[in-house]
Amino acid sequence: MVPPGGIRGGRPRMRGVPAPRQAQTPVAPVKKRVLFVCIGNSCRSQMAEAFARAYGSVDMDVQSAGVSPATMIAPQTKMVLAEWNLRIDDHFPKSMDIIRQQPFDLVVNMSGIPVMLPGARIVEWVVQDPIGQNESLYRAVASQLEGLVMQLILDLRTESSVRKV
């Protein structure tokens, strides 16, 4: 039996408790399109691309190119990257002319030659060209590029977290 005045006893009707906020589906971060450029796309840019693919595939889509591409990737480049357990057997030197038709957010230029791509931010890295040098220089360049790529990944992550706030 319902008491007189209803079960609320004359108290005003409650407006209800707001529905709990539904968990929002996480939005996948937008990957930055990054291009690594050197002179021949045979050493430095190939190394940087390999490190970026290995360590930063969550944060960026990467490619590499050369302002004056070589006919092949230097064998020492492949050998040194294999020491890091990175394989680039299916890579080949590419020209900037082919790449220019694609949009990039960031261009990392190691060529020492001015490079322009519409809409892309250009970053200059000073990295010695190991072409024609001994294996120890290739290793030193690879080690330097690994550090630079890791810093780039951290910078991109920080940049994207700042934008989300």
Domains (range + CATH), the chain: 32-164 (3.40.50.2300)
Residue 19 has a pLDDT of 59
* pLDDT value for 97: 87
What does the pLDDT read at residue 25? Answer: 63
CA distance linking residue 43 with residue 54, whole number of Å: 17
DSSP state at residue 95: B
Which pLDDT value is given to residue 150? 97
pLDDT of residue 30: 83
Report pLDDT for 118: 87
**How high is the pLDDT of residue 149?**
98
The per-residue pLDDT for 124 is: 97
- Residue 69, H or E segment: none
Spatial CA neighbour of 152 closest among 41, 12, 35, 40: 35
Q: In sequence order, what DSSP letters do the residues of 18-65 get, joined into one string?
A: PPPPPPPPPPPPPPEEEEEEESSSSSHHHHHHHHHHHHHTTTEEEEEE
Consecutive sets of 10 residues in the chain, 165 residues long: mean pLDDT of each?
Answer: 65 64 65 96 98 96 96 97 96 90 94 92 97 96 98 90 49
